[in-house]
Structure 1
């Protein structure tokens, strides 16, 4: 008899955590060995509990190791042989591209049927890529829109600065006063950043900022804020 795939599930929402575990239990060859609610608990579990696959929420604030892309990066560096299935509500191009660059080969949208979590675990357990239907559709749209061109998203330093201040809770007027720029300029820079990222609503911008580690960049010196994954200097200021 084949050994079951041992899975650790992490999500800060109890309902999602329970739902994901129940969905996995419907697969005879999968065994949930531990659950985590934030990154501190998750890393401790991974250091002490043997598992074959990690299923983790992307936006899971409150832990010592952060969440979003910074957490995924940490996990990839410290547990390089552990396959990861990422759960998220986001489908924007920049996020999916960065997850792929970090070595994540499976992303499941929480809006899709939870059975896709089990299918994803089965696939990554054999080192095979798996994307749930919504994510697959977003990737197809991304490929069509790219048209063979470079789809790297680079925000200018000023655009990132405006995004950081906006998601910190400041209004456009307050940002304009702090940065000594006109309200029109600040609004344009925010809208340009959202268009580059493929985002339409402010709520999506907040999710993107949280998932990409842009919520707590106050320690960065001016000019050092750059798009996660950007290897060189930020693009020229707009």
Structure 2
């Protein structure tokens, strides 16, 4: 009988994270790491030359001509539709995790959870099912519950969440438009809609909200 081997590509801009995950996966005879990338450019080039079954990718990776986050994962879904995706993320807020969930990502693992969750996430994603690590599952469960009797939960669309993340990381509207390949008007509209859903009227309030939610992180290099 042929032994199951899942070919995996890893992507994370922190070398230490890749070393740790590679070590964790090395004990599994069913998982074979085929290559590693440190930004979206390296990841896409690797995928073009190295067939794999599952990608394990960080959500936020500075640099790289294909961006990161939702933009990158949508591109991967179009270019490599048969490859399963497991996303690692430091963002434990409902907007971003909900955007990944809505996008249909097979595996989502919070970096707040143990690295031991990565291997089962790979196995489950390979099978075509969905895996959510404990922190992610708890956040998504809370997202589905009303915050009070009068209002339902705030639910940003994947594109709105991505625009907000990039904006609060310090990018201007025109820079976001260029990176996401959308018009400045579209980006402004998506930002405004997100702020309206969150009940915020000023940019400073949006940044403060992002800090409180723990999802303020740059999507570009900070020398």
TM-score by length of 1: 0.68
Aligned length: 185
Query: 3-state DSSP class of the match of 1:201?
Result: helix
In 2: Cα distance, 1:96 partner to 1:111 partner? 13
Whichever of the two has the greater Rg, that structure is 1
1:205 & 1:87 partners in 2: Cα distance?
A: 14
CA distance in 2, matches of 1:81, 1:114: 25
| Equivalent residue number for residue 142 of structure 1 | 143
Tell me: CA distance 1:65–1:149, structure 2 relative to 1, closer, same or farther (3 Å).
same
Q: Secondary structure at the match of 2:117?
A: helix
Match 2:203 to one of 179, 184, 190 = 190
- State the shift of 1:192 in Å: 4.9
Label 1:36 to 1:167 Cα distance change in 2 as closer, same or farther (>3 A): closer
Partners of 2:54 and 2:86 within 8 A in 1: yes
**What is the distance in 2 between the residues matched to 1:60 and 1:200?**
18
Shift of 1:128: 1.0
Question: Hey, what does 2:86 align to over in structure 1?
Answer: 85
- Cα 1:32/1:118, change in 2 over 3 Å: same
Contact 2:113 2:135 in 1 (8 A): yes
In structure 1, the partner of 2:177 is none
Matches within 5 A, 1:58-207: 58-145=59-146, 149=152, 151-153=154-156, 164=167, 167-168=169-170, 189-190=202-203, 192-193=205-206, 199=209, 201=211, 204-207=214-217
Take 2:156 and 2:59, find their aligned partners in 1: how far apart are those partners?
20
152 and 203 in structure 1: CA distance in 2 versus 1, 3 angstrom threshold? closer
Confirm or deny: 8 A CA contact 1:40 1:65 kept in the other structure: yes
Q: Is contact 1:76–1:102 with CA below 8 Å preserved after alignment? A: no
Superposed displacement of residue 146, structure 1: 6.1
User: Is contact 2:8–2:33 with CA below 8 Å preserved after alignment?
Assistant: yes
Matched-pair contact (CA < 8 Å) for 2:93–2:214 = no
Is the CA contact (8 Å cut-off) linking 2:13 and 2:61 kept in structure 1? Answer: yes
CA contact (8 A) 1:86 1:108 kept: yes
CA RMSD of aligned residues (A): 3.0
Report deviation, 1:202: 6.2
Check the 8 A contact 1:54/1:82 in 2, yes or no.
yes
1:152, CA displacement in angstroms? Answer: 2.7
Q: Could you list the runs of 5+ residues in structure 1 that have no partner in the other structure?
A: 171-186, 216-238
Residue-by-residue CA offset, 1:102-154 (whole Å, 9 max, x unaligned): 22021001121111000000000101110111111111111123689474337
Quote the offset at 1:35 in angstroms. Answer: 0.6
TM-score under structure 2 length normalisation: 0.72
The SS at the match of 1:206 is coil
